Structure 1
Amino acid sequence: MKARYQYRFYPTSQQQQSLAQLFGCVRVVYNDALAICKQSQKKPKSAELQKIVITQAKKTDQRAWLSEVSAIPLQQSVADLEAAFKNFFDACKGKRKGQKVGYPKFKKRTSSQSARLTRGGFSVKGQGVYLAKMGIVKPIWSRDLPSEPSSVTIIKDCANRYFLSFVVEVEPVQLDAKNQSVGIDLGIKTFAVMSNGEKAVSPCYKAVDRKVRQLQRKLARQHKDSKRRSKTRIQLAKQHNKIAETRKDFLHKISTKVVSENQTIVLEDLNVSGMVKNRKLSRAISQQGWREFRVLVEAKSEKYGREFVIISRWEPTSQTCSDCGYKWGKIDLSVRSILCLNCGTEHDRDENASVNIEKVGLGHRHDSKCTSRQSKTTSVASVNEA
């Protein structure tokens, strides 16, 4: 299976100029190809686009500077546009799962920049990496590469940091699991409540989030293309990176722990796009990274040879007693503790849901026809009164 290994590097001033030129050429080729596709009645093929925006463009005075950089990242830029159009067409036809992908957009200079090199455009030489028509850069090797990389992507993020992202082949890891299975209920205050009783509390982003709001208001008042606005934009990007990196570190640690200790991991298919429409909770939900956690668990389950199960979002996991199967109906989110009228057991809302998620994922369910209530319960108060 393939994996990405990313390393940060600090280019010299001359290398920064060369990288800026490379990113500019990649961005121009991509935008020129997209402009041709928008003007054409039928989308040209990738080979035709490469011939127009690279080969023929180099012979003109307006695009002669394209020959000063390697041709490999320019070709990969056109290939990226082809992949973007494929995802868009597949989403329109319903062939692509998940949220619909929009029509490809033009690349901006102020966004994060990237350029991809295949094996002909780079090579790893000792502690350095040779990049075509650029020289050797020295990344910080935080860990060794497990195999020979097939490609490398040079990335410059919005905070002006530089990274090398390698694509390598990794072998599956054979590791014995301590537990047979686990169900995980995701939340906001407590990020994950597991069926074995463990809880994971997400980091607090309030201090950094407050700084982000201040900088966003400051950015909105400043004139476009001014030096002060550019300085504020970089400061804002750094604060966003703090939140993103704190969240990524937390999600990697908890996903590794869950996958390494359990043979079967069961998650619920949450409607996150629908949840963020709630204006009161949208910011808190977006900061949790539920989708990213699901992707990490799924990828690491494949690496460690685990079974990964997703249950339907329509399963009444928070409406059913995990002990006897008694169904009490919908309950307000403010109610965190529930008393079952059938067996008299008091449940924590999230722990009860995690146990039910595990049962449904393993195929074990209570007979809902025998244990369901005729009336609909909305809160614990009404249940106790009944």
Structure 2
Amino acid sequence: MITSMKVRIEPNNKQNSKLFQSAGTARWAYNWTLSKQEENYKNGGKFLSDRVLRKELTKLKHTEELRWLNNYSNNITKQAVKDCCNSYKKFFDGLSNKPKFKSRRKSKLSFYQDTEKIKFTETHVRLEKVGWVKLSEHTRIPTNSKYSNPRVSFDGVHWYVSVGIELNQTPVELIDKSIGIDVGVKDLAICSHKEEPYKNINKTKKVKKLEKKLRRLQRKVSIKYEKNKEGRSYVKTGNIIKLEKSIRKLHKRLDNIRTDYRHKITTEIVKAKPSRIVMESLNISGMLKNKHLSKSAQQQSLYEFKTMIKYKAERYRIEFVEADKWYPSSKTCSKCGYVKPKLSLSERTFVCECCGTIIDRDRNASINLSRYKVS
């Protein structure tokens, strides 16, 4: 099984500049490929393979105009061309939306590294045309392994290197138990094997305090923009740049707190070693359309929670089941099996009209999910 590992790197000023330039080179190559594909499509030509475009780009590197590309690893441009061609192909196959040109301001900064040329020690990583760069976490990535799809990316605050590593799966003895997981906005997860629910991290004092600080900084920077407005354009002063950096750091800190919490919960569930985990199908797009729930649903990152459970279950060889979208887990009594015809969202306690059972609505749903049978 291949698992992805991501570690923060600490480049010096010279290396930092080189990383930004390399990411810009990848963005340029992606946009160049996309413009070539679109021009070819308008002229009625067939899909251009990445091999054809890479050959053309190699020839262009000898011209005076694009000689600067030789200062950067050719693997960066090669992979950017491949990525764009794959995106364009997926669009025509109906698997994704039409690829867009990458913006200098808004697009994510990232680039590829060759699997043979990237090297790791306990404390450093060697990046092609950049040199040896310090790792924030020592001995995290194995030094004598075969790496797949190495990427270097920037999140607005820090640079990271990520690689895929083959893991040797050791057989784990599982217990004959099925765990049902009901996720939501009030609590993150309610599990059938556990009485207490996993609370919503966004309701804690720590997160609320950081969100309050974030709102204040955003108001502050907005006022500064209005004060420095010249006609229709806004002037970005040194103080605005400092404030925006603080805002990015605060966003990253909040994201780290939430991601860490999801990792801890999913690991705890999987380490219970059940033979099966059942989760309800989530209509995330529908929840995001609801103006009362959209922000809370977005902060909970329920899709990411499901993804974490799924790949961790696969690592332990636990069967992962996603219940049918129309399965009435909340409406069914977990004691007698009676299905209620109607159950409003405001009813947080399930009261059975048949046997008189009174139980928390979400806990009732998690018990029913644990008994779910695939038809």
For residue 228 of structure 2, what is the aligned residue in structure 1? none
What are the within-5 Å matches in structure 2 for residues 170-209 of structure 1?
170-178=167-175, 180-196=177-193, 197-204=195-202, 205-209=207-211
Given that residues 309 and 361 in structure 1 are in contact (C-alpha distance below 8 angstroms), is that contact kept between their aligned partners in structure 2?
Answer: no
What amino acid does structure 2 have at the position aligned with 1:24? G
Query: What percentage of residue pairs aligned between the two structures are identical?
Result: 33
Amino acid at match of 1:206: K
33-42 or 161-170, larger mean C-alpha shift: 33-42
Q: Corresponding residue for 1:120?
A: 116
| Gap change, CA 1:51 and 1:232, over 3 Å in 2 | farther
Match of 1:226 in 2: 236
Tell me which amino acid in the other structure corresponds to 1:152.
Answer: P
**Aligned with residue 137 of structure 2, among 127, 136, 141:** 141
Across the aligned residues of Structure 1 and Structure 2, the Cα RMSD in angstroms comes to: 2.2
Amino acid at match of 1:292: E
After superposition, the Cα gap between the structure-2 partners of 1:28 and 1:220, relative to the gap in structure 1 and judged at 3 Å, is farther
CA contact (8 A) 1:70 1:121 kept: no
Match of 1:368 in 2: none
Q: Within 1, Cα distance between the matches of 2:248 and 2:179?
A: 37
Q: Secondary structure at the match of 2:346?
A: coil
Find the counterpart in structure 1 of residue 89 from structure 2: 86
Q: How does 1:196-275 map to 2 (within 5 A)?
A: 196=193, 197-204=195-202, 205-216=207-218, 222=225, 223=233, 226-227=236-237, 230-261=241-272, 262-275=274-287
- Superimposed CA distance per residue, residues 124-155 of structure 1 (whole angstroms, 9 cap, x where no aligned partner): 24532222222111212355335332342111
The residue type equivalent to 1:183 in the other structure is G
Residue 9 of structure 1 pairs with residue 9 of structure 2: yes
Instruction: Letter of the 1:128 partner, please give it.
Output: H
8 Å CA contact 1:263–1:307 kept in 2: the answer is: yes
CA distance in 2, matches of 1:328, 1:34: 54
Q: TM-score, normalised by structure 1?
A: 0.85
Question: Is 2:289 the partner of 1:294?
Answer: no
Q: Is the 8 A contact 2:120 2:141 kept in 1?
A: no
Q: Deviations over 1:240-292 (max 9, x none)?
A: 21222111111111111111212210000011101111101100011101100
Q: SS of the counterpart of 1:280? A: coil
Offset from partner CA, 1:287-312 (integer Å, 9 cap, x none): 10110011111111111111100011
- Name structure 2 gaps, 5 residues minimum: 226-232
- 1:48 correspondence with 2:52: yes
Which secondary structure state, in structure 1, belongs to the residue aligned with residue 254 of structure 2? helix
Distance 1:50 1:219 in 2: 44
CA contact (8 A) 1:139 1:164 kept: no
Name the counterpart of 1:57.
Answer: 60
What is the Cα deviation at residue 220 of structure 1? 5.8
Q: Which amino acid aligns with 1:119?
A: T
Pairing 1:369-384 to 2, within 5 Å after superposition? none
Deviates most, 172-181 or 35-44: 172-181
Give the Cα–Cα distance (whole angstroms) in 1 for the partners of residues 217 and 288 of structure 2: 23
Determine helix, strand or coil for the equivalent of 1:164.
strand
CA distance in 2 between counterparts of 1:308 and 1:207 reads 37
User: Where does the alignment leave 5 or more consecutive residues of structure 1 unmatched?
Assistant: 364-386
Amino acid of the residue matched to residue 326 of structure 2? W
Query: Which residue is 1:163 aligned to?
Result: 160
Measured at CA, do residues 155 and 227 of structure 1 come closer, stay the same or move farther in structure 2, by a change above 3 Å? Answer: farther
